[in-house]
Amino acid sequence: MEGTADDLLLRLEQLNDIGVALSKERDINRLLETILVAAKTITHADGGTLYRVTEDGKALRFEILRTDSLHIAMGGTTGNEINFPNLPFADEKGEHNDSMVAVYAAIHDKTVNIADAYTEAGFDFSGTRRFDERTGYRSQSFLTVPMKNHEGEIIGVLQLINAHDPATGAVVPFASADQSLAESLASQAAIALTNRLLITQLEELFESFINLINLAIDEKSPYTGGHCQRVPALTMMLAEAVNNSSIGPLASFDMDDRGRYELKIAGLLHDCGKVTTPVHVVDKATKLQTIFDRIQLVDTRFEVLKRDAEIYALRQQLALRDVRDAMAEDRIQAECEAELRILDADREFLRKTNVGGEMMKDEALQRVRDIGSQRKWRNLDGVETEFLTADEVENLTIRAGTLTQKERDIINYHIVATIKMLEQLPWPKHLQNVPEYAGGHHERMDGKGYPKGLTREQMSPQARMMGIADIFEALTAKDRPYKPGMKLSQAMGIMANFKKGGHIDPDLFDIFVKQKVYRRYAEQFLDPSQIDEVDELALAN
């Protein structure tokens, strides 16, 4: 039954509104669902199915299925999986599977409008009849429309079932106006779906390129590759916690899907500048490590000094053999053994110092300098020289950790490199904040951070979130060469001190604690041995 002019005009307006809605939808499942529901609405159909061509191009796959009168809703955002088998384009003999109406429409690029499936010849509706027998339904009118992309390729099929007369509610055939509207919608829907798929593919390509950068960093150093994955994960956990907060200073913070994607990309790229950082600095596990640990060279020099002491003692003893002075020989041997003990003690001291596991006191620093300058050894050229080079003394007198100030500057430069790299990219509007988010994770709330010395007020909440995530991940990471991963309570205690000292955002840290973001992260990424009880009340004081 043809609709009235007013009804047709109303449906045309609906079609225009649907086209606008389709162009805005980002989620593929919601997009497919919108297409089917819209088609059912403008044609007054009780049910419908949306099929998509499989990746190999050999069959149709059920994507969305709806039958209002039976309260059936499967696929899409419902969470109800469709377990029906695919509809193959060819039968066992390799011939076109024209008996299935949806496949026929796809193969021949032709709309099929059937008034009554029970009387229609040429198509196999046995499955439909079995469904009707099982449910008590009566599948009658069918409208099956192929969906083509901008290149003329069939990408899916839209099938509608049982048109209803709006006035009487009776099941009627799909009118020619219904068919025209459905075909127009199918065309718009195919374009929207293709565009969304192309955008999704570009986003996946972009994220794959980002992961490629992180893989390059990972290949350079296994100690930072995990960091590049964990910091984004923790940042997003904290961002969702802030987004869900309805009270407090950050209650107005709101993050939509676009904002989430922008922050995710910034998190993944926050350390991309580390591709410029030398491996021997990133992986410097001991104070003397470069391409190899130079403590081995120092060990060799000690062996040379011990050998020289023994040779000197033996020569003295040989010189006394003619006078048969046993007491003098014993004294020389005792002096030699005492010197060897001193050398072993100094060597053990330098070995321990090289590890960099604890803060060095002033007397220990001076002992390193004394060993370096007061002891002499004869090098490969036969020249007597100081036992330790100036560079070795500089490294061994690092008060804490394993890095010299120059090496710290090299590592810190990665954030400058990150900002430079990211600011060179032509970011689209929805990703324009990526450089700011990614480039601020070494700044401090009191303006004493790096590299721009920004204050809290000059930074976005997202950049401040990333700063908390970056620090907490570094404290608890179990894959660093120079330290074990901290226990949760110890790391949270340090974070609380950072909050008091103006290092991290206090409001964000309060949410980090109260919503137990740290605990969820720990359960996902830390060893069970690191997870202990945290006194949250103490952290608030």
Apex CA 397: angle with CA 394 and CA 401, to 5°? 105
The 3-state DSSP class for residue 7 equals helix
Cα 410 from Cα 281, distance rounded (Å): 8
Q: How far is CA 316 from CA 60, 279, 302, 322, 325, in A?
A: 97, 49, 21, 11, 11
Residues 263 and 302 in one domain: no
Q: Parallel, antiparallel, or unpaired: how do β-strands 45-53 and 171-172 relate? A: unpaired
Residues 248 and 344 in one domain: no
Residue 59 resides in a domain: yes
Phi and psi at residue 447, in whole multiples of 5°?
85, 10
Burial of 75 (0-12, 13-18, 19+ CB in 10 A): buried
Q: Which helix (H) or strand (E) holds 112?
A: strand 112-114
Rounded Cα gap, residues 16 and 158, in angstroms: 18
Could you report how far apart the first and last alpha carbons of the chain are, in Å? Answer: 75
Instruction: List, in order, residues 6 or more apart from 246 with CB less than 8 Å away.
Output: none
pLDDT-derived band at 108 (thresholds 50, 70, 90) equals: very high
More reliable by pLDDT, 357 or 349: 349
Residue type, 228: C
User: Is residue 283 one of the residues assigned to a domain?
Assistant: no
Check residue 324 and give its pLDDT. Answer: 67
**Residues 70, 142 within the same domain:** yes
Q: Given this model, what pLDDT does residue 362 score?
A: 93
Q: Tokens representing 186? A: 């199918």
Structural domain ending residue among the three candidates 402, 430, 460: 402
Average pLDDT estimate for 134-148: 93
Are 398 and 417 contained in the same domain? no
Contacts of 295 (CB under 8 A, 6+ apart): 286, 288, 350, 351, 354
CATH number of the domain that residue 121 is part of: 3.30.450.40
Q: Do 299 and 351 fall into the same domain?
A: yes
354-392 pLDDT per residue, tens: 988 778 999 999 999 999 999 999 888 888 899 999 999
- Residue 408 maps to a domain: no
Residues in a beta bridge with 66 = 48, 73
**pLDDT at residue 60 is higher than 80:** yes
**Domain contains 289:** no
| CATH, residue 528 | 1.10.3210.10
Does this model's pTM top 0.75? My answer is: no
Collapsing DSSP states into helix, strand and coil, what is residue 106? helix
Which H/E stretch holds residue 512? helix 506-514
Are residues 450 and 319 part of one domain? no
**For residue 483, what pLDDT is reported?**
66
Can you give the residue range of the structural domain that contains 127? 5-199
Give 289's DSSP letter: B
The 3-state secondary structure of 352-377, one letter per residue: HHHHCCCCCCHHHHHHHHHHHHHCEE
pLDDT > 60? residue 225: no
Residues 6+ apart with CB under 8 A from 522: 476, 488, 530, 531
Distance, in Å, from the CA atom of 87 to the CA atom of 512, rounded to the nearest integer, reads 50
Query: Cβ atoms within 10 A of the Cβ of 341, count?
Result: 10
pLDDT tens track for 190-211:
787 887 788 888 889 998 988 8
Task: Give pLDDT, residue 274.
Answer: 85
* Neighbour tally for 156: CB within 10 Å: 24
The reply to whether 398 and 429 lie within a common domain is no
Q: Find the helix or strand (DSSP H, E) in which 204 lies.
A: helix 176-220
Q: Is position 205 within any domain?
A: no
If you average pLDDT over every residue of the chain, what do you get?
88
Residue 320: which H helix or E strand, with range? helix 295-320
- Do 60 and 195 sit in the same domain of this protein? yes
192 and 118 share a domain?
yes
How confident is residue 3, by pLDDT bands cut at 50, 70 and 90?
Answer: low
Q: What mean pLDDT do residues 464-491 have? A: 86
Per-residue tokens: 326: 């046993």
Least confident of 69-73, 144-148, 217-221: 217-221
244 within domain boundaries: yes
Which residues fall within 8 angstroms of residue 397, CB to CB, at 6 or more apart? 360, 365, 368, 369
- Based on the fold, state whether residues 427 and 472 are members of the same structural domain: yes
Q: Is residue 64 part of a domain?
A: yes
Domain boundary pick from 352, 371, 402: 402
Do 240 and 142 lie in one domain? The reply is no
Counting the structural domains of the chain, the total is: 3
364 & 474 share domain: no
Query: Is residue 342 included in any domain, yes or no?
Result: yes
Query: Which DSSP category does 445 fall into?
Result: T
